[in-house]
Structure 1
Amino acid sequence: MTPAATERSGRRGAVPLLERPLNRILGKATAAQLAKQGVTTPRALLRLFPRRYDTWGDLTDLRTLGNGEQATIQAQVVRAAARRTRSGKPPALLEATVTDGASTMDVVMFGNVGLVKHQAEQLAPGATVLLQGKVGLHHGRRQLASPRFQVLDELDEAEREALLARPMPIYPATESMPSWMVARAVRTVLDQITPDDVPEPLPQSVRSADRLVDAYTAYKWVHTPEEASQWRAARRRLRHEEAFVLQTALVQRRVQHAAEHTAVAWPVPGADSLLADLDAALPYTLTAGQARVGNRLAEALNSTVPMQMLLQGDVGSGKTLVALRAMLQVVGAGGQAALLAPTEILAVQHRASLEALLGPLGRAGMLDGAPRATRVRLLTGSTSTAERRQLLAELAGGEPTIVVGTHALLSQTVQIPFLGLIVVDEQHRFGVAQRDALRERGGVTDPATGSQRTPHLLVMTATPIPRTIAMTVFGDLDTAVLDELPAGRTTVTTRLVPWEREPWVARIWKRAAEEVASGGRVYVVCPRIDADDTEADQETPDPPVSVLLDETGDLPEDALPARPLAAVVDWAQRLAAEPALAGVGIGTLTGRMSASEKDAAMADFISGRTPVLVCTTVVEVGVDVPTASMMVILDADRFGLSQLHQLRGRVGRGERESVCVAVTGVEVGSPAYHRLKAFGDISDGFKLAEADLELRSEGNVLGAAQSGRRSDLDLLRVARDGALIARAREQAEAVVAADPMLAEHRDLAAAIADRLDEEAGAYLERS
């Protein structure tokens, strides 16, 4: 706030004008209605931006108007009368008749008694008005119901012409608070403020470099533009401000974290190291991407600044090997590493994968173990008491170990005193507090000072994230990308099959039998366990929380299929009776099964005792069966694009040619249809993520369940504004580098506090 604004605030009281309760400025009734939209202060009202801008447009002769036509007319009021309604819902009714001199039309408006009475006074007989609305029929007469209107009698010809050309802001409205009432409330606030009342979060250097208007002008022009160029300039400035404030918050948190926390610098392994032994034992060479990312992680781990890295790669890109190599850098130097997985199936798979990659290097202390080796331990909710007690003792004793676990790793009884690196897989499945529970209890203690060092952090996702979202959601993390697949991975052919094409559906099961006969394995994924279920099965009580990373079932209720959604129990029985699959074992796997039942189901599937596995999305991530060659997804429209891509990634993991079949009943041309068509046409996960972002809004960018942010973005759209976000990022880094605490940018600091509440701030700090 400027000195002048501070002086004005002092004259009026301690509370700045923009922070005052709205009822003191607009009255209790209007303030109460705006509060229902979350608007409680003048500042919040100014940030309730118009959804669009209309103009009055060309005037229309009443005689030419037909039912359902949108019209703008200039007419004279013949009569107008207000009365209460019999039902009281709405309380009052205005009935009027207008004429253009050649024809007449009825006008009707609804509202509370005070509003309708005021409208009747405005529409006094003889008044000349502009009306805009949709023509309807009532008892055979043409009628405008609840039109926008403007009384013209007090305007001269020039003013009338200007009015016809002037953009009209259209606001988010409710039945009790229509757009014109919001506009009137905004104008009431604008009439009382001066430039000194409006904080300016954008530094002058930023405004000058991008030719942006000041904040006061932006609010004036966005709400009361005289011409289209003004609201466009205002929205450009306000969109830039939104990107800049968010990026500054992310950059500042990152800088503060680096300044306040230290980590152990784990030396880059040389030729005589556990990591070098692994590289020498691998039957293949690293891809260029794996080598590049590996070198970057090695450098980051060899620093006292805690690494905060997001590793994203498409399904099958080799993230597990990259993570293992990073963990060996720590373990080989005497530290401990933990891999946190969202489900027990995935944790078991990770342990098996790590042990397979390590071979003798993962069997320390065993007869067939290598001279230089480590151990990979597993801690889940199914770990026996005796095994758990032994494992906890080893961890607490500081044994250089890799421990893989689920939420069980977050228990207060788990102590990992030499924890140097945390790897979080499918990070969007975890809340921030859950990740922190492990991060805060681990960490190496500095023997010189007794202070605890912060573990390095590597979060991984196989759900490719568009660059603009990565900058916005994970802006305080470094981002590393694996953008190529290892040699030997086969392309998966994707086919869409409509339920109504029964011969096509029947052919699916014949193809499944052919796959099994040639040694393949077949997944059949259903969105339900039982036909009566109302929610999809979840392996974990903490499902994906960000619509950016996963969004399931976007069909409206009235578009749900008449037939029941596919369920595991039902389809296991159907396939067991399917003639084409006669003699083929049919297994099931769901999140409701016990750990031992899941292990047995996977073992039977892998061995071929039940080569067809009917399951839910418990196999979505991490499950690695090289012989799996066919994925059938029933009612595929009930899954988000990222889930579909993850499920497709369960096949094609060996040398067999593989196919993914998505069965759906959606209508051609519907949003779900376009999403499935993109899934069928695009196999690259990163391109698919970009297509997904284009197909639907990004929702709450920070992810409400994780971030606690008060509201979605206002004008900024990550799908559209990638260049702007990158530009704002550069500008934010320059500002924070020169002024880390924003001491010289108080309005910017206040904007960050206003835009992000405490929980969101904690999210940014801890992500």
Structure 2
Amino acid sequence: MSAASLGSEATASAGSDVGAGAARQNLERQREPLTKVLGARTAKQLGKLSLETVEDLLRHYPRRYGDPGQLTDISQLKVGEHVTVMAQVRTATIRTMRSRGGAMLQATVTDGTHALQLTFFAKRAGVLRMHEDKLRPGRTGLFTGTVGEYRGSRQLTHPDYLIVGVDAADEDEAVLEASRPIPFYPAAASVPTWRIGRSVRTVLDPLPDDYFVDPIPEFLLDRHGHLPLVPSLRDVHVPDDSAAWKRGLARFVYEEALILQSALARRRAAHEALTSVARPRRDDAMASAFDARLPFPLTQGQRDVGEQIATDLERDTPMMRLLQGDVGAGKTVVALRAMLQVVDAGGQAALLAPTEVLAAQHLVTLRALMGPLAEGGMLTGADDATRVTLLTGSQGSKARRAALAEAASGAAGIVVGTHALLSETVQFADLGLVVVDEQHRFGVEQRDELRARGDRPPHMLVMTATPIPRTVAMTVFGDLETSVLAEKPAGRAQIATHVVPADNQAWLTRAWGRIREEVDAGRRAYVVCARIEGDAATEGDGDADVDPDLDGADDQLLAADGGIDLGAAKPVAAPKAPLASVSDTAAMLGARPELAGIGIGVMHGRLSADAKAEAMDRFASGATPVLVSTTVIEVGVDVPQATVMVVLDADNFGISQLHQLRGRVGRAGHASLCLLISRADEGTVAHERLQALAATTDGFALAETDLELRREGDVLGAAQSGGRNSLRLLRVVRDAKVIDAARVDARELVNDDPDFTQHPALAQAIESWLEPAREDYLERS
């Protein structure tokens, strides 16, 4: 199909009230291949930007807008950076090259103060006359290329360009184009911004206003004062003035919020229609005995949140609750009290951890907290005691058979495990509660899989020690009720945090000396590395050899320069020093005179389960009081004697991950220390992250800072996974009010029409977003 024929199709089916057939036709129109509309050559170029369909192209929004009179600050250009600049032509001259033959055109463009050279080569001067004719002094143009340097001057060699008011079909169009805001699209070297713009116009210009069915119901467009879909696309791509593109973008921000909130509201409504088994409290059972044996008083926050959870468990609607608590807030005790309430009521509880190390740690912690209450069937067990058993993927066959039998028979009231608990081979006698630790490692679909276990779904408690700003919580966890533990139990020590420049040898020597002092005092120290094995210097970030036990945790590694402009061209990164590895660092520390005679252990995900357990046991006992590890020890690991945390290459980690690592020390009242070894330069985003971390131990304040410094794609997961950002325009901090409004609208829609039968275009948009390739926004926090 040609671009001209796009607008000639009958559009009688378009509108807010459409049937299934019209919805299918609408989807076909959106997914029309660009090869049919623009031709194979242009479509192939756009395919380099993953623009394959009409919808892909029309939803490829400009990342900013320029005014023809507003020139780019040329002084800010960096060598190696791919740029699009707006500048005015000062000179353009052709000359013959005697030394190498051929001809060269040299032009100078300026922002009024600074200059940039443009250079074109050809075998004959005549070939360059076209450029000379267009590059007349005084004209303004957009110039795209990679910034180079020649004899101290910055230049673009053979840049692609567009001259404002010249590259148009006729004089009237030239005058009109010269007066409009100029859209700058996320582009590539081979696909400049104006080529994208022309392609958009080719597709968009012939479309009638009702060509697509709008995913936003008409009454909501009226409620919020937004225009329909196609007119809004024109506002964004071909704005008459700045008010037009602002109006258009506002509509698409709301649309993204509505689709996202509708998906969550529909998921929540479907869950609330299910029936679970009520698990009422018993005054004379294990839960009461557990409270009586606790060696410390519960905080008021623990009591309040515990009451919320206990009340949820007493209902026959399955609980879906997110428990937020900063590092050391006492979430495990709250979760255990809930699990015991379920066991008292005749059910079982499963605690799902993201790594085998954390699962094993939870087993030890739960048994220690419960004492005789965890020794069901044993001579030392208390009356009404149960068992706590471990089930992981790497267990030996004998241990696994025993764990499976205890889960299936109900002898184990609490089963702790990794994702192995998701296996169909794992059967429970009566699964009443699933506790998911560190939610950001598990996707929504995995949550749903757990909910679906048995004839009636179990209650679910999702825990995270990564504080989540309210806007993110309602964007990503809108299908969950939220409880917050902000108060920390007594006895937690303050942790002094310092940023140590990696090139300051005196400070590094002092850091190793501090470890010695702590070890001599009977304490323990962690040294964290991003890699397992050593590696050569890498370009840019480099891909750390991923620790297989992290389940993607290391994908929180961020570029040191940070990125905030969606679609902006990335500079060519200079080689960076190799990241420290566990193997090299352990060897280096073993040779340091400050640590002579001290046992040094290693921990990472490639170790077997037995080797991991042994490494942690030796560390906890003091046999190897220094543990060199990857971030596998990031969450949940609890060694009370640990008082020092050293993070090498800390500028490569995000705030939340560093905050989690810091939370591994200071757990027993001893003054503790966290040293962040960094190569980040002042003024970079990475340096700001580390300074923010050193300034406070308040995880909720850090979460807000993290959100301000990072792209939403990173926060929600799309950028880490390598996929495209499903949230193209919505920003969870800036657009909190929009998200609130969309949440109200989505709940109204779901209450009136749970299956969206009256709004098939909205249902279609939700399904499109929930395709596997676009599911990232719901996958992580």
Quickly name the TM-score band, shorter chain normalised. Answer: 0.7 to 0.9
Please say if residues 395 and 416 of structure 1, whose CA atoms lie closer than 8 Å, have aligned partners that are also in contact. Answer: yes
1:30 aligns with 2:39: no
Partner in structure 1 of residue 4 of structure 2: none
2 CA distance for matches of 1:665 and 1:761?
35
What secondary structure does 2:191 align onto?
coil
Please report the RMSD computed on the Cα atoms of aligned residues, expressed in angstroms. 4.4
Letter of the 1:512 counterpart: I
1:734 aligns with 2:748: yes
Q: For 1:674-713, what aligned pairs fall within 5 Å after superposition?
A: 674-699=688-713, 703-704=717-718, 711-713=725-727
Partner in structure 2 of residue 490 of structure 1: 493
Letter of the 1:318 counterpart: G
Cα gap change, 1:181 to 1:368, in 2 (>3 Å): same
Using the TM superposition, name which of 361-370 and 230-239 deviates more: 361-370
Please say if residues 109 and 147 of structure 1, whose CA atoms lie closer than 8 Å, have aligned partners that are also in contact. Answer: no
Please say if residues 129 and 150 of structure 1, whose CA atoms lie closer than 8 Å, have aligned partners that are also in contact. Answer: yes
Using the TM superposition, name which of 160-169 and 366-375 deviates more: 160-169
Letter of the 2:527 counterpart: V
2 CA distance for matches of 1:176 and 1:283?
67
Cα gap change, 1:496 to 1:199, in 2 (>3 Å): same
Per-residue deviation, 1:110: 10
Partner in structure 1 of residue 470 of structure 2: 467
Please say if residues 388 and 412 of structure 2, whose CA atoms lie closer than 8 Å, have aligned partners that are also in contact. Answer: no
Q: For 1:108-257, what aligned pairs fall within 5 Å after superposition?
A: 131-133=141-143, 145-151=159-165, 163-257=177-271
1 CA distance for matches of 2:722 and 2:579?
33
**Structure 1, unaligned runs of 5 or more:** 61-67, 80-85, 88-92, 100-104, 444-451
Per-residue deviation, 1:36: 3.2
Deviations 1:590-638 (A, max 9, x none): 3333333333332232222332223332322111111211112222223
- Which of these residues, 324, 329, 339, is aligned with residue 336 of structure 2? 324
Q: How many aligned positions are there?
A: 725
1 CA distance for matches of 2:490 and 2:344?
28
Please say if residues 387 and 413 of structure 2, whose CA atoms lie closer than 8 Å, have aligned partners that are also in contact. Answer: yes
Partner in structure 1 of residue 11 of structure 2: 5
Please say if residues 349 and 415 of structure 2, whose CA atoms lie closer than 8 Å, have aligned partners that are also in contact. Answer: yes
Q: For 1:90-489, what aligned pairs fall within 5 Å after superposition?
A: 131-133=141-143, 145-151=159-165, 163-259=177-273, 261-267=274-280, 269-381=281-393, 383-399=395-411, 401-430=413-442, 440=452, 442-443=453-454, 452-489=455-492
Letter of the 1:490 counterpart: A
Letter of the 1:473 counterpart: V
Please say if residues 441 and 780 of structure 2, whose CA atoms lie closer than 8 Å, have aligned partners that are also in contact. Answer: no
Please say if residues 524 and 622 of structure 2, whose CA atoms lie closer than 8 Å, have aligned partners that are also in contact. Answer: yes
Deviations 1:471-511 (A, max 9, x none): 22222222222122111111111011112222221112222
Partner in structure 2 of residue 720 of structure 1: 734
Partner in structure 1 of residue 3 of structure 2: none
Letter of the 1:507 counterpart: R
1 CA distance for matches of 2:201 and 2:423?
55
Please say if residues 109 and 146 of structure 1, whose CA atoms lie closer than 8 Å, have aligned partners that are also in contact. Answer: no
Per-residue deviation, 1:321: 0.7
2 CA distance for matches of 1:164 and 1:544?
49
Deviations 1:269-320 (A, max 9, x none): 1422321222222222222221222122122222232222222211111111
What secondary structure does 1:309 align onto?
strand
Please say if residues 20 and 42 of structure 1, whose CA atoms lie closer than 8 Å, have aligned partners that are also in contact. Answer: yes
Please say if residues 710 and 756 of structure 1, whose CA atoms lie closer than 8 Å, have aligned partners that are also in contact. Answer: no
2 CA distance for matches of 1:425 and 1:765?
15
1 CA distance for matches of 2:335 and 2:374?
15
2 CA distance for matches of 1:231 and 1:289?
47
Q: For 1:37-116, what aligned pairs fall within 5 Å after superposition?
A: 37-57=49-69, 72-73=87-88
Cα gap change, 1:333 to 1:156, in 2 (>3 Å): closer
2 CA distance for matches of 1:480 and 1:377?
28
2 CA distance for matches of 1:344 and 1:136?
50
Partner in structure 2 of residue 601 of structure 1: 615
Please say if residues 442 and 779 of structure 2, whose CA atoms lie closer than 8 Å, have aligned partners that are also in contact. Answer: no
Letter of the 2:11 counterpart: A
Partner in structure 2 of residue 576 of structure 1: 590
Partner in structure 1 of residue 539 of structure 2: none
1 CA distance for matches of 2:297 and 2:218?
52
Partner in structure 2 of residue 632 of structure 1: 646
1 CA distance for matches of 2:68 and 2:352?
59
- Which of these residues, 655, 658, 675, is aligned with residue 644 of structure 1? 658
Cα gap change, 1:348 to 1:54, in 2 (>3 Å): same
Deviations 1:180-231 (A, max 9, x none): 2222222222321122213222234433333323323211111111111111
Please say if residues 56 and 132 of structure 1, whose CA atoms lie closer than 8 Å, have aligned partners that are also in contact. Answer: no
Cα gap change, 1:258 to 1:142, in 2 (>3 Å): closer
Please say if residues 257 and 765 of structure 1, whose CA atoms lie closer than 8 Å, have aligned partners that are also in contact. Answer: no
What secondary structure does 1:661 align onto?
strand
Letter of the 2:486 counterpart: D
**Structure 2, unaligned runs of 5 or more:** 1-6, 16-20, 73-82, 95-100, 110-115, 537-542, 563-571
Letter of the 1:398 counterpart: G
Identical pairs, percent: 48
1:551 aligns with 2:557: yes
Letter of the 2:557 counterpart: E
Per-residue deviation, 1:252: 1.0
Cα gap change, 1:584 to 1:370, in 2 (>3 Å): same
Partner in structure 2 of residue 449 of structure 1: none
Please say if residues 78 and 125 of structure 1, whose CA atoms lie closer than 8 Å, have aligned partners that are also in contact. Answer: no
Letter of the 1:340 counterpart: L
Per-residue deviation, 1:710: 6.4
1 CA distance for matches of 2:243 and 2:679?
46
Flag the structure with larger Rg. Answer: 1
Please say if residues 643 and 672 of structure 2, whose CA atoms lie closer than 8 Å, have aligned partners that are also in contact. Answer: yes
1 CA distance for matches of 2:237 and 2:596?
69
Scaled by the length of structure 1, the TM-score of the pair is 0.83
Cα gap change, 1:457 to 1:353, in 2 (>3 Å): same
